[in-house]
Amino acid sequence: ELKVEQNPLFLSMQEGKNYTIYCNYSTTSDRLYWYRQDPGKSLESLFVLLSNGAVKQEGRLMASLDTKARLSTLHITAAVHDLSATYFCAVDRAFGNEKLTFGTGTRLTIIP
Amino acid sequence: DADVTQTPRNRITKTGKRIMLECSQTKGHDRMYWYRQDPGLGLRLIYYSFDVKDINKGEISDGYSVSRQAQAKFSLSLESAIPNQTALYFCATSDPPGQGAKHGYTFGSGTRLTVV
């Protein structure tokens, strides 16, 4: 059974600091996704990672993938209040079996 | 208009009542999904459909049923609602297979369901 674990569950950090959210998955998967969710809102796609060593960056967020370790990280650089949200990682298989399995989410609060 | 539209946005219902949540999409996608979100548990898959004639159970299908009325419409029913079905429900579609790293899922705005 595929399991996706995220940590930490909650993260409170000061503006200007750096931090990393971790996502582990238990069995081979083809793609790794990162989503952002604001309270009461839908999910916004941030990154899709496919291959080992893939790194993608958008503003203060950078995601990486290590398929051998089954680990993805979401790194936040010099956090700002606007990044406060819940972040989810999720994985799926390709080639006819596309359905997402989600991690538990990390609620990130940026303190001024 | 949104690509994936869910109705209603909010609903309060009583235990034992039958309720239907509706989802329609303008993406032209064959693949549609229903997820449930609970605090601390992430999103869990209830049912999914890869085309109008293909319906599959997800990890938490007990107590739920679905209907794929057309390519664009996928409804979720709670036959007899119970309080632990109180949650935020999301409908989603996905791109066709073969997109590689460009593959994506589109989520609706969600339906907040409260069973009292």
Determine the pLDDT at residue A70.
Answer: 94
Percent of chain B with pLDDT over 70: 99
3-state secondary structure of A39: coil
Residue of B nearest to A103 (CA): B42
Determine the pLDDT at residue A51.
Answer: 83
pLDDT band at A98 (very low <50, low <70, confident <90, very high): confident
Using DSSP bridges, classify how beta strands B87-94 and B105-107 pair: parallel, antiparallel or unpaired.
antiparallel
Q: How many Å apart are CA A99 and CA A58, to the nearest integer? A: 25
Residue of B nearest to A94 (CA): B97
pLDDT surpasses 90 at B98: no
* Tens digit of each residue's pLDDT (9 = 90 or more) over A23-59: 999 988 889 999 999 998 999 999 999 888 899 999 9
Determine the pLDDT at residue B110.
Answer: 97
* Among A43, A95, A102, beta carbon nearest to B97: A95
Contact B103 A105 (CB under 8 A): no
Instruction: Report, as an integer, the average pLDDT of A82-96.
Output: 91
Evaluate whether B67 touches B84 at the Cβ level (below 8 Å): no
pLDDT surpasses 90 at B38: yes
Instruction: Report, as an integer, the average pLDDT of B19-44.
Output: 95
Q: How many Å apart are CA B37 and CA B16, to the nearest integer? A: 21
Write phi, then psi, for B107 (nearest 5 degrees).
-105, 145
pLDDT surpasses 90 at B99: no
A88 touches chain B (CB under 8 A): yes
| Cβ-based contacts of B41 with chain A (< 8 Å) | 104
A73 touches chain B (CB under 8 A): no
* Residue B93 Cα, gap to closest chain A Cα (Å): 10
* Among A50, A99, A102, beta carbon nearest to B100: A50
Determine the pLDDT at residue B41.
Answer: 85
Q: How many Å apart are CA A13 and CA A107, to the nearest integer? A: 11
Determine the pLDDT at residue A27.
Answer: 86
B110 touches chain A (CB under 8 A): yes
Instruction: Report, as an integer, the average pLDDT of B17-36.
Output: 96
Write phi, then psi, for B100 (nearest 5 degrees).
60, -135
pLDDT band at B111 (very low <50, low <70, confident <90, very high): very high
Instruction: Report, as an integer, the average pLDDT of A13-30.
Output: 93
Determine the pLDDT at residue B2.
Answer: 77
Instruction: Report, as an integer, the average pLDDT of B86-92.
Output: 98
Determine the pLDDT at residue B88.
Answer: 97
* Tens digit of each residue's pLDDT (9 = 90 or more) over B39-69: 888 999 999 999 999 999 999 999 999 999 9
Residue of A nearest to B89 (CA): A42
pLDDT surpasses 80 at B1: no
3-state secondary structure of A79: coil
Beta bridge partner(s), residue A2: none
B70 touches chain A (CB under 8 A): no
Across all residues in chain B, what is the average pLDDT?
A: 94
